[in-house]
């Protein structure tokens, strides 16, 4: 069956930084599932259907990766698919506190699942989904920071919102 890790997130939208983490996780695990949290704490720009559609489109160009979505507790999803590792990316020190809290909570909930961190590649240190959305909304070109399909979807989304 091989080793399986899940890479969870809101992915609103997925960025090249996220993709880099998922692909590097595949050097350690036999399988990696990019797992979309459909009901995150955040209010996403893209609906869960749109975010899943984006992930499926990304999978076409990256068939080695798997994509899925989950609702409710992450550790329950991990049990359901048989994963014993959660992958998260770490950028600056500012990520640390939030990630530490999340890892400890997940361990409290289910200590069979370990959280592993992969340092983001240098070029993605200062990117985030929010800052990419902000720049794109103001008409900035974010090509190269996100997969081309995401770039097109951001342009589409903001063109529609501007017409409203
Ligand atoms: N490159 C670029 N950006 C990155 C990145 C990287 N390598 N790693 C993280 N980011 C950014 C994202 O762009 C995002 O930016 P934003 O805040 O501006 O949108 C931010 O860091 C984190 O987003 P994301 O990676 O999508 O994850 P998340 O923090 O939204 O995910 C869940 C949180 C979904 C994993 C968590 O809420 C969860 O597990 N929910 C399920 C419920 C549960 O089990 N709760 C109890 C456990 S705490």
Quick: pLDDT tens for 118-136: 999 999 988 999 999 999 9
Domain at 118, CATH number: 3.40.50.620
Report the chain's terminal Cα–Cα distance, integer Å. Answer: 50
137 part of a folded domain: no
pLDDT range class, residue 155, cuts 50, 70, 90: very high
62 part of a folded domain: yes
Bridge-based pairing of strands 114-119 and 4-9 is unpaired
139 part of a folded domain: no
Report which ligand 1 atom has the smallest distance to the Cα of 102.
48
Distance CA 40, CA 132 (A): 19
107 part of a folded domain: yes
Q: Is the peptide bond before 104 cis (omega within 30 degrees of 0)?
A: no
pLDDT tens digits, residue range 18-38? 999 999 999 999 999 999 999
Q: Is the CB of 118 under 6 A from ligand 1?
A: no
> Is the Cα dihedral 88, 65, 69, 136 positive or negative?
positive
pTM, rounded to two decimals: 0.93
Q: Is the CB of 15 under 6 A from ligand 1?
A: yes
Structural domain range at position 37: 4-126
């Amino acid at each position: 069956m091989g080793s399986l890790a899940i890479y969870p997130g809101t992915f609103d939208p997925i960025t090249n930084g996220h993709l880099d983490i998922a692909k590097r996780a595949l050097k350690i695990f036999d399988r990696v599932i990019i797992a979309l949290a459909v009901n995150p704490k955040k209010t996403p720009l893209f609906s869960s259907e749109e975010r899943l559609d984006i992930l499926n489109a990304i999978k076409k160009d990256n068939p080695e990766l798997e994509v899925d979505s989950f609702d409710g507790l992450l550790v329950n999803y991990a049990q359901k698919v048989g994963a014993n590792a959660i992958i998260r990316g770490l950028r600056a020190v500012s990520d640390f506190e939030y990630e530490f809290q999340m890892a400890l909570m997940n361990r409290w909930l289910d200590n069979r699942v370990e959280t592993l961190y992969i340092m983001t590649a240098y070029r993605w240190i200062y990117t985030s989904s929010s800052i990419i959305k902000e720049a794109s909304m103001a008409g900035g070109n974010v090509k190269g920071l996100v997969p081309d399909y995401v770039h097109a979807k951001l342009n589409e989304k903001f063109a529609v919102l501007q017409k409203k």
